[in-house]
Amino acid sequence: MNLLQSVIACLPAEPGRQTGCLNDLARCSGHDRRQVLRVMDKLCREGYLEETGDNPEPPRYGEVGPPRRNPTWRVVRDPGTRPAATLPRKTSLRSKLWKLIRAKRRFTKGDLVAPSGASEATVDEYVRQLEKHGHVRRTGRDGAAVTYMLVNLKQIEPPRGLFGGGS
């Protein structure tokens, strides 16, 4: 069960019901507060939830900064009816990187950074995952940069499930 499914399982299904605070949802789902907050914000943007209040927690002893958010939500529509994740958006960075890799076939990480607009760290992580799962392989060096080659030239769709979710 992924993060989204475990958070949705902790929410009341009937519309109009109030959810627990962020701390309660994080405890119920077994995930980090920050991850749960991101999922809840996403469900709010999609219209499944509505934020009703915030009871911020003061910083703990030795911590500095603003109080931590601890919002509560109201269920507007049943989040269990949310459609399952599909392929990445056509404009996502991973989609752009995949299109560039398919177009070039042989590339270095530096060849992908400028045209895609992605950071070097993003390109590095994506290429490492592709290499780990056998979609690209190292073919040598071009000066100081490592060159890679696309393994399956006939694969059109971007690989799914590289990052643990539907992305």
In CATH, what class is 3-81?
A: mainly alpha
Question: What is the chain's percent helix, strand, coil content, to nearest 5?
Answer: 40, 20, 45
Tell me the per-residue pLDDT of 9-21, one tens digit each, with 9 for 90 and over: 888 878 888 888 8
Residue with tokens 């914000």: 41
DSSP character string of 9-72: HTS-SSTTPBP--HHHHHHHHTS-HHHHHHHHHHHHHTTSEEEEEE-PBPPPTT--SSPBP-EE
pLDDT at 136 (0 to 100): 93
Which sequence spans correspond to the domains of the chain? 3-81, 85-167
pTM above 0.75, yes or no: no
pLDDT at 164 (0 to 100): 61
At 94, the amino acid letter reads R
Confidence of residue 1 (pLDDT cuts 50, 70, 90): low
pLDDT at 142 (0 to 100): 84
Higher pLDDT, 164 or 113: 113
Confidence of residue 89 (pLDDT cuts 50, 70, 90): low
Give CATH for domain 85-167. 1.10.10.10
pLDDT at 86 (0 to 100): 62
Tell me the per-residue pLDDT of 115-132, one tens digit each, with 9 for 90 and over: 988 999 999 999 999 999
Would you say the CATH fold of 85-167 matches that of 3-81? yes
Least confident range from 63-67, 77-81, 102-106, 113-117: namely 77-81
Residue with tokens 């949802």: 25
Tell me the per-residue pLDDT of 12-51, one tens digit each, with 9 for 90 and over: 878 888 888 888 888 888 888 888 998 898 888 888 889 8
